Structure 1
């Protein structure tokens, strides 16, 4: 557990894995009781497309304040993560 707290990149990867797992489990649970005409899986994926990158972008902006030494050493990785997560958010809101 302590190794997870030392690296903000692992926080972002854990965010992606957990959010994708929750998204797919919600799709399975919601589509079980739905009738044939309902669009629950499509609606959940449509909302996850903006929520997952927004959470990654927020983590990318917040992590340098908590992990100063790591962000000084790996600033290029952090900048790349912010750029990768900012593109879908910018495309969605433009």
Structure 2
């Protein structure tokens, strides 16, 4: 009791990551509503995975058309197992 297994520390998240998606939404607006909701003064969307600047702009434009609040869309590094980031992560030397 009180010991930590060094091969499976409790602070490492090893579960499979899955995207939060809306099954078969008829419109982008429906998918946006389920994940963004109404609170707040702006919408801040973080996009993970492969996505071009044109695709980010398309997401921003569709989100802006669906809501009157200002929309910010950012591309963030993909997460991999063991809590490390795949892109933009510098290993200590």
TM-score (norm 1): 0.26
Greater helix fraction, Structure 1 or Structure 2:
1
Greater strand fraction, Structure 1 or Structure 2:
2
TM-score (norm 2): 0.26
Rg (Cα) greater in structure: 2
